[in-house]
A and B are shown apart, each in its own frame.
Chain A
Amino acid sequence: MNLIECVKMAVSSIKANKMRSLLTMLGIIIGISAVIIITTIGGSVKATMNNAFNSFGMNYFYGWFTPKEYTEDVYDKLEADDLPTLQMYYDLVEKYPDQFEISENEFYCDGKVLNQKNDYQNISLRCTTSGYFSMTNKKLAEGRFLTLRDDLEKKSVAVVSQSFAHKYCGNSSIINKPITIALQTGEEAIFYVVGVYEDNTTDVERSSSEKTNIYVPFQYLVDPKNCSSNYVTVVWNQDMGIKSAKENFTRFFENIYHSNEYWHVEVDEYDQEMLGTINIALNILTIAFSVIAAISLLVGGIGVMNIMLVSIVERTSEIGVRKALGAQNSSIRIQFVMEAIMICIIGSIIGILIGLGFSYLLGFVGSYVVTTVVPEYADVVDVTVKPSVIAIIISVLSSILIGVTFGFYPANRAAKMNPIDALRHE
């Protein structure tokens, strides 16, 4: 009797008593669908979260000035011209337009600004590179943000908040107007306003003692040629992809530093690590819950074994007849093991379908909840349903294993039945 015959015989036995077969499969169906649902939820949360994080602007890494190899005395070997300059980073941005922004935001000093009516406002002077604005998702209300050229040409320009502009000159535009900042250091600096950013506070909400940020080009703080940054934030354009961004960054600095014996600039993935940690945590949770769900598979297998034991007692005379007609013990055994396997396989397929169906349903519900409850996040949090193919394959394989394991004992009992007693049974 070859394999196909065996399978056919098993399937026809299962079909002969559909209700009982279905009840036997129930444990397997529940177990497998639970595993599928859990693994799909896990995979989907990961996918959705990763996409959302990227959309939120976790699309940056750090350029890190660091020794090629750490030895105890390496810092003794540090020389002034080993250090990277801001100019290098600007060159990087120029070389790969639209792919990179770099950003530094250094707090310089507090100060006061007087307007023509001698009303003053407290301000906080921040020296930043042009990338800062996109990185922090600042929204432009009027004019423009700072650019690279402002830095390179050492322009005295500033970007102020909406509430500052309103307090300073009321309804007229503040663009191109000069402001004089009296810094706490005693210095006085004059900047021309080129842009206004939304700061989400109204004139009335912000009291005059509260500080508002004024952004000026980074070079105000230091001369870019002498500025050294051992930690620079590099923002990369998502459309270009993080892999190519990192590759280009690494290659650029390899060219600069390849002849340097001790130092280089490399990609530091500090924040990406956090994302990675969250992913790892999700993985562990998913596996833990899957294991718990898998316990129900075990129970399902025991159910299969019990029903098979009952079944072979009911079919005692059938077994006797088969033996009388010349069936070998092995044929009987294989017949019943195959029945158990087929029950488990069919059960697992039903379980997978139910599990996937339920997961997609949850996905729809999740999407609906996001768009109605937190619509401001709707375009960023795109609920993705991502089933785990590995989980599906493992489910089917383990269902076969369960069939063989829990079917074997009853099948063996059937095979060892004495035909004379079996025939006498009915």
Chain B
Amino acid sequence: MNDSIISLKNIDKKFNIGQDNELQILFDISLEIPKGQFVSIVGSSGAGKSTLMNILGLLDKPTSGSYTLNRFCTSELNDKQLSKIRNAEIGFVFQTFNLIPRLNAIKNVELPMLYKGVAQKERTENARKLMEMVGMSDRCEHFPNQLSGGQKQRVSIARAMANEPSIILADEPTGALDTVTGRKIMDIFHRLNKEQGKTIVLITHSPELASETDRIVTISDGKIISDSEGTQ
């Protein structure tokens, strides 16, 4: 499909290839994700969600198959180019937040822009706007250890949005949060999706969370076993 922002075709992933403990995690995964969709990828532990997310996030390369992200054909790219595309096209939100502890909130948000080469003034301006968007303007100078879980995740989301990426990849974003805080985070995702048309891929093991999204893709034993869009 032409307006697919993510296009996975026949993705296989094997580890320890050629050795005695060769292991295949993903089997022939094909997936088209159109722009602006809020997709969740569901599966139990060990189903291959993390591996799939690593491939989606350009942190890992598939053993075979192709991955086209926003018209970039990623199989041809070397590490340097992959880093660049990661920086420009993908916004990560992790379960354990992964903020850099020695930087304050606003500097954390600035980080992707720093690696893109944006000038200091512009970086700080953008970062402030993003912090405002997630409702954290009054805590810009706080350090991560001074923030609650929910606040850290909000900073995380602001950071993910910093370079206006094509997709947001959220790996169990509410996994370390209580229900109330987790609800607030999900609301932010919904807002980003509805108001700004952001494509969001949510990885989760919770079917309840998944049901909030536009489309649910279920993985089991490295294969897609169901897709609420109908195509399998």
Is B83 positioned at the interface, with any CB of A under 8 Å from its CB? yes
Residues of A382-426 whose CB lies within 8 A of B: 419-420, 423, 426
Smallest beta-carbon distance B77→chain A, Å: 13
22 of the cross-chain contacts (CB-CB < 8 Å) are: A1-B115, A5-B114, A5-B120, A12-B103, A16-B102, A317-B98, A321-B94, A321-B99, A322-B111, A322-B115, A323-B83, A324-B57, A325-B87, A325-B112, A325-B115, A326-B115, A327-B87, A328-B115, A329-B80, A419-B59, A420-B59, A420-B60
Complex: how many Å from CA A297 to CA B100?
Answer: 32
Residues of B within 8 A of A327 (CB): 83, 87, 115
Q: Which residue of A lies closest to B87 (CB)?
A: A326
Of the candidates B87, B99, B100, the one having the most CB atoms from chain A within 10 angstroms of its own CB is B100
The answer to whether B84 and A326 have CB atoms under 8 Å apart is yes
Q: B-facing mask of A316-338, CB < 8 A → 1, else 0?
A: 01101111111111010000000
Residues of A within 8 A of B59 (CB): 323-324, 419-420, 423
Is A173 positioned at the interface, with any CB of B under 8 Å from its CB? no
Residues of A291-319 whose CB lies within 8 A of B: 317-318
Complex: how many Å from CA A5 to CA B102?
Answer: 16
The answer to whether A1 and B117 have CB atoms under 8 Å apart is yes
Top 6 A-B residue pairs of the complex, sorted by shortest distance between their CB atoms:
A326-B87, A16-B102, A321-B98, A326-B115, A325-B112, A326-B86
The answer to whether B111 and A423 have CB atoms under 8 Å apart is no
The answer to whether A324 and B92 have CB atoms under 8 Å apart is yes
Is A13 positioned at the interface, with any CB of B under 8 Å from its CB? yes
Is the interface on chain B under 10, 10 to 19, 20 to 34, or 35 or more residues? 20 to 34
Complex: how many Å from CA A341 to CA B224?
Answer: 51
Is B25 positioned at the interface, with any CB of A under 8 Å from its CB? no
The answer to whether A423 and B98 have CB atoms under 8 Å apart is yes
The answer to whether B94 and A423 have CB atoms under 8 Å apart is yes
Smallest beta-carbon distance B139→chain A, Å: 19
Complex: how many Å from CA A238 to CA B175?
Answer: 87
The answer to whether A326 and B83 have CB atoms under 8 Å apart is yes
Residues of B within 8 A of A325 (CB): 86-87, 92, 111-112, 115, 159
Contact surface of B with A, Cβ cutoff 8 Å: 54, 57, 59-60, 79-80, 83-84, 86-88, 92, 94, 96, 98-103, 111-112, 114-117, 120, 159, 163
Contact surface of A with B, Cβ cutoff 8 Å: 1, 5, 12-13, 16-17, 317-318, 320-329, 331, 419-420, 423, 426
Q: List 10 extra interface pairs beyond A324-B86, A327-B115, CB under 8 A.
A: A1-B115, A12-B102, A317-B98, A321-B98, A321-B99, A325-B86, A325-B111, A327-B83, A420-B54, A420-B60
Residues of A within 8 A of B112 (CB): 325-326
Q: Which residue of A lies closest to B96 (CB)?
A: A426
Residues of B within 8 A of A323 (CB): 59, 83
Complex: how many Å from CA A65 to CA B214?
Answer: 111
Smallest beta-carbon distance A45→chain B, Å: 47
Q: Which residue of B lies closest to A319 (CB)?
A: B100
Of the candidates B94, B101, B102, B103, the one having the most CB atoms from chain A within 10 angstroms of its own CB is B102
Residues of A within 8 A of B159 (CB): 325
Q: Which residue of A lies closest to B92 (CB)?
A: A324
Complex: how many Å from CA A299 to CA B111?
Answer: 35
Smallest beta-carbon distance B48→chain A, Å: 14
Residues of A within 8 A of B101 (CB): 318
Smallest beta-carbon distance A374→chain B, Å: 57
Residues of A within 8 A of B54 (CB): 420
Residues of A within 8 A of B83 (CB): 323, 326-329
Complex: how many Å from CA A327 to CA B114?
Answer: 9
Complex: how many Å from CA A13 to CA B102?
Answer: 7
Smallest beta-carbon distance B61→chain A, Å: 11
Residues of A within 8 A of B116 (CB): 326
Smallest beta-carbon distance B99→chain A, Å: 8
Complex: how many Å from CA A16 to CA B115?
Answer: 21
Contact A329 to B79, CB < 8 A, known contacts A12-B103, A321-B100, A419-B59: yes
Complex: how many Å from CA A1 to CA B112?
Answer: 11
Smallest beta-carbon distance B7→chain A, Å: 21
Complex: how many Å from CA A28 to CA B92?
Answer: 40
